[in-house]
Chain A
Amino acid sequence: MTRQLKARYPGPGGMLALSFGFHLVVFLLIARCQVLPSFHPDEAQVTYVDMVTLPVVSPQSGTPAPTALEAAPKLPAAAAPVTPPASMALPAARTKAPGAAPKKDKPAAVPDEREFSERMAKLERQAGEKRQAEVLDRLRNTGRVGMPGATGTEAGSDYSSYVQSRLKDAFGEVMTSQTKSPQVIAAISIGPDGRIDYQVEKHSGDQLFDDAVARAVALAGRSLKAPPGGGKFRRVFRFRPEGVAVK
C-alpha cells in the first residue's frame, strides 16, 4: 500500500506544477466571470460616444434651433467654455497628469447627479452648436435659400418665416371663432407656381374657426411668391388665437 502511494507521488516539482496549473484555472475562471475589478471596462466613456452622433434636427434651412441657445444660461458655472465644434470629437478620455500618483482602480462608477447633469449640459450645448454651425454653413454655401428676392443676409428671411408671416397677416384679418381656445393644425403646401394648398390635420371642433383658417390660407395665397429653387414647399402650421395657451 505504501509502495503504491509512493509510486503515484510526482515529487516536489510535480506538485508545484500541479498547483500552478490549478491556480491558473481558478484565476481564469474568475476573470471570465468578471469578478475581478481590474477586468471591468470603462463604461462611462462608451456612454458619451453615442451622444455626439445624434442626428441633427433642423429640417428647415435657415431656422436656427433654439434649444441649445436657450439651454446655455442654465449651464452650471463650472461648465467648460464654449468651443467651436470643429470636430465633434468625443470628450477626451480621462488622462492622467504627468507625474501624478496613480489612482487606485475603482469599479466602474455611475456618474453622480451633478457630474451627470454637467456632462449632459455640455453635450447638449455641443450638439446645439453643431446644429447651428451646420445651418449657418448651409446658408453660406447654398445660393437658393431665403425669401424670394431677398439677399439672404437678413435674419429670419427663410421661406418658412416668409409664409408664416403672410399667413399671420391674413389670419389677423379673418379670424373668427365661437369657442374659447380653438386650434387647427394644417399642412400648407406651395407649389413651384406659387399655388397654395392646405390639408387640415386636426380640426378645432369650431366650424367658424376652421373656416377662418381656410379663409386665411386663401387670402395669403393671393400674394405669395413661389418657393425658391423651383421646388415645392410643405410645412405644418398651427393656427390659434393669440394668448391662448397651447395644450
Chain B
Amino acid sequence: MKVFLLLILIMLTSGSGLASEEYLDVTAPSSRKLQLSIAPTTLLSGAASPEIGPELAELFAFDLSLAGVLQLAPAGSGSSAADLVLKSAYSVQGSSFTLECRLFDQLLNRELAAKRYTGSRKELRRMAHAFSDEVLRALTGQKGPFTGKIAYVSRVSGNKEIFLMDYDGHRPQRVTNNGSINLNPDFAPSGREIIYTSYKKGNPDLYRRELFTGSEARVSSRPGLNAMGTFAPDGSRISLALTKDGNSEIYLMSKDGKNLDRVTKNPAIDVSPAWSPDGAKLVFVSDRLGKPQLFVMDADGGNLRRLTSSGAYNVTPSWSPKGDRIAYARQGGGGFQIHAIAPDGSQDTALTVAGSNEHPRWSPDGRFIVFSSTRDGAEAIYLMRADGSAQTRISKTKVRESHPTWSTGW
C-alpha cells in the first residue's frame, strides 16, 4: 500500500512536469506552397532550337502548378528567392535529342533530382512530363501521374471511338476505327492494355486490346449487355455488368473472359462495378431500393451495404487508388455533379458546381480526378485535384469527348 501511494504521488508531482518538458513545441500557423523557379534552358551541344526553352518552361509550369504543392516564382524575380530551382539543358546530335533536368533545393543546398533523357526531338513533351513525375517523387515521396495517358471516347469522326492523349490533352491518338459505338474504356494496371465495350458486331461486347501491338480479342460476348468492364488492381480479373440472365448483374471473370462468377443476385439493375485498391471490395450502382444508389460489397458478393444515403440518383463510382475516397456522379439541378465520399459513407462532398459533370476516374496516384463536363458547351474532358480545386479543361477540340480514364505512366 505504501509503495502504491508513493508511486501515485511520484506520478502526480513529477510525471506531468516531465511530459511538458520533454519537447519544446515549434509551430507554424499555416502551410504554404514551395516556391519554384524554372531557370532558362541552356544548350549543351549541337544546333540550338530556340523554341525548346519556352516549351519546356510551359510544360513544367503546367505540370507542377497543377500538382498543388508548388508555386511558380513570379517571372523576373530571379531564382535566389525561390525554395527550389529547376534547371534543364539539352543537346542535339543528328536525330538524337538529349535532355538533362535537375532540381535543387536552395535552402538545403541539395540536389533533389537529376535525370537525363535521350530520344528524338518529338519526345520532348514526354521527357518533361517524366521529369515532373520525378519532381513530385522527390518532394512528396510519391511519383507524379504526368506520364500517364488518358483514354476517352471521342466523336471527332462522327462515331464514338476510343482515343488516347497525354494527360494534358496533347498528342491525341486514335485507338479504334470501326465506325461503331465504343464505350467505357479502362486501362489494365500496366497501362499497356485497355478493355472497352463495342457494338461493332451488333451486340455490346467487351474487347481487350494491347495498345502497343494493336492486337485485340473479344473477351465477353454473352447475350445482351457486356459492359462497364474494369480491371482488378492486380490485372488478373475483370468485373463487368452482364444481362445474359435478363436483368443486369455484376460478374467477375479472368482477363481472357473465362471463369465467370456471378457476384450479385437481385432482380434490380446492378451496374458500374469498381474495385477497391486492394481488390477485396467492389462499389457498384443498384436501384434495388428504388433509385440508383452506390453499394459496397466484398468481391465475392458478401457484406453488402449501402454507401450513399443522400441524393436520388448516384452513378459511375470510382475508388481512389489511395482507398480513402470514392468519386461518383450525382444527379441534381438539371445535370450531374461529381461528389466524393469516404468508403464508410461519411464526408460526402460535392467537388463540382458548374455545368453537368460525369464519369469521374482517379489518376493512378490518387492526386487528381479526370471527368467529363458540359460547362463550356459540348461535353469535354477536364481534370481537378482530389479536393476539387484547380479544375482545368484538357480537351483541345470542340467535339464531344467523354468517358475518360487515366493510365499509369508509360
Tell me if A40 counts as interface (CB < 8 A to partner B). Answer: no
Contact for A240 among B5, B25, B105, CB less than 8 A? B25
Q: Encode A72-109 as 1/0 by CB contact (under 8 A) with B.
A: 00000000000000000000000000000000000000
A171:B139 contact, CB within 8 angstroms? no
A175:B31 contact, CB within 8 angstroms? yes
With contacts defined as CB atoms under 8 Å apart, how many contacts are there between chain A and chain B in the complex? 120
Q: Encode B3-39 as 1/0 by CB contact (under 8 A) with A.
A: 0011011101110111011111111111111100000
Q: Given the complex of chains A and B, what is the CA–CA distance between A63 and B13 in angstroms? A: 17
Closest to A175 in B: B28
Q: Given the complex of chains A and B, what is the CA–CA distance between A236 and B18 in angstroms? A: 13
Closest to A131 in B: B17
Q: Given the complex of chains A and B, what is the CA–CA distance between A52 and B1 in angstroms? A: 18
A127:B139 contact, CB within 8 angstroms? no
* Size of the chain A interface, CB-CB below 8 angstroms: 51
B25:A65 contact, CB within 8 angstroms? no
Q: A43-B2, A51-B13, A211-B139 are in contact. Are A171 and B28 (CB under 8 A)?
A: yes
Q: Given the complex of chains A and B, what is the CA–CA distance between A58 and B141 in angstroms? A: 39
A124:B13 contact, CB within 8 angstroms? yes
Tell me if A176 counts as interface (CB < 8 A to partner B). Answer: yes
Tell me if B289 counts as interface (CB < 8 A to partner A). Answer: no
Q: Encode B124-151 as 1/0 by CB contact (under 8 A) with A.
A: 0000000000000001110000000000
A57:B18 contact, CB within 8 angstroms? yes
Tell me if B108 counts as interface (CB < 8 A to partner A). Answer: yes
A66:B20 contact, CB within 8 angstroms? yes
Query: How near does chain A come to B110, taking the closest CB pair, in angstroms?
Result: 9
B27:A110 contact, CB within 8 angstroms? no
Tell me if B107 counts as interface (CB < 8 A to partner A). Answer: yes
Tell me if B69 counts as interface (CB < 8 A to partner A). Answer: yes
Tell me if A152 counts as interface (CB < 8 A to partner B). Answer: no
Q: Encode A168-185 as 1/0 by CB contact (under 8 A) with B.
A: 100110111110000001
Closest to B22 in A: A236
B29:A242 contact, CB within 8 angstroms? yes
Query: How near does chain A come to B148, taking the closest CB pair, in angstroms?
Result: 20
Q: List 22 A-B contacts (CB under 8 A).
A: A43-B1, A51-B6, A54-B13, A54-B14, A58-B17, A58-B21, A59-B21, A63-B21, A65-B17, A120-B12, A124-B13, A164-B25, A168-B26, A168-B28, A172-B28, A175-B32, A176-B31, A176-B34, A207-B141, A208-B139, A236-B24, A238-B26
Q: 17 extra interchain contacts, Cβ-Cβ under 8 A, other than A171-B28, A241-B30?
A: A43-B1, A57-B18, A65-B20, A67-B16, A168-B28, A172-B28, A174-B32, A176-B32, A176-B33, A176-B34, A185-B23, A208-B34, A211-B105, A214-B108, A239-B26, A240-B25, A241-B28
- The chain A residues found within 8 Å of chain B, CB to CB, are 43, 46-47, 50-51, 54-55, 57-60, 63, 65-67, 110, 120, 123-124, 127-128, 131, 160, 164, 167-168, 171-172, 174-178, 185, 207-208, 211, 214-216, 218-219, 235-243
